[in-house]
Amino acid sequence: MLSPSLDSIRIFLHVLAAGVWVGGQIVLAGVVPGLRKVGPEATKAAANGFARVAWPAFVLAFATGVWNLISADDTVGTSYQVTLGIKILLVVVAGASAAAHASSEKKVVMAATGAIGLIASLVVMFMGAQLGTA
């Protein structure tokens, strides 16, 4: 059996945080229509519960992302740098959209920022897979 290493712990934490942040949004999108039928308190409770878990996961993804960067062997290639740059930009877009989504009461703003946040998060995850296999 392979022995655990600092590298495997680093990737485990990064993928765990990414999975909670991105997967949590997908699960929430799936359960919210059902919760709406129960009442606004149910939706609010689910959103608050998600926020309690998702924001620490976002911070962990960011911190372990920086750790990935420090540990990566070959980050100097132009295509690696461009992919990484777009990924970091989309991390900011995802975080800002999620924050705007959580603090707005307007339906149109909530729908737009929710969708942008999820799409940006999915692209960030895909680009992570690209960086990990580069």
Binding site for ligand HEM (CB under 6 A): 11, 14-15, 18, 21-22, 58, 61-62, 65-66, 68-69, 72, 88, 91, 94, 121, 124-125, 128-129, 131-132
- Nearer to ligand HEM (CB atom), residue 43 or residue 68: 68
Comparing CB distances to ligand HEM, the nearer of 43 and 84 is 84
d(CA 75, CA 60) in angstroms, rounded, equals 21
Contact 101, 118 (CB under 8 A): no
Residue 102 beta carbon to ligand HEM: minimum distance, rounded to whole angstroms: 15
Question: Closest separation between CB of residue 84 and ligand HEM, Å?
Answer: 6
DSSP state letters, 27-48: HHHHHHHHHHHH-HHHHHHHHH
CA–chain centroid gap for 124, Å, is 7
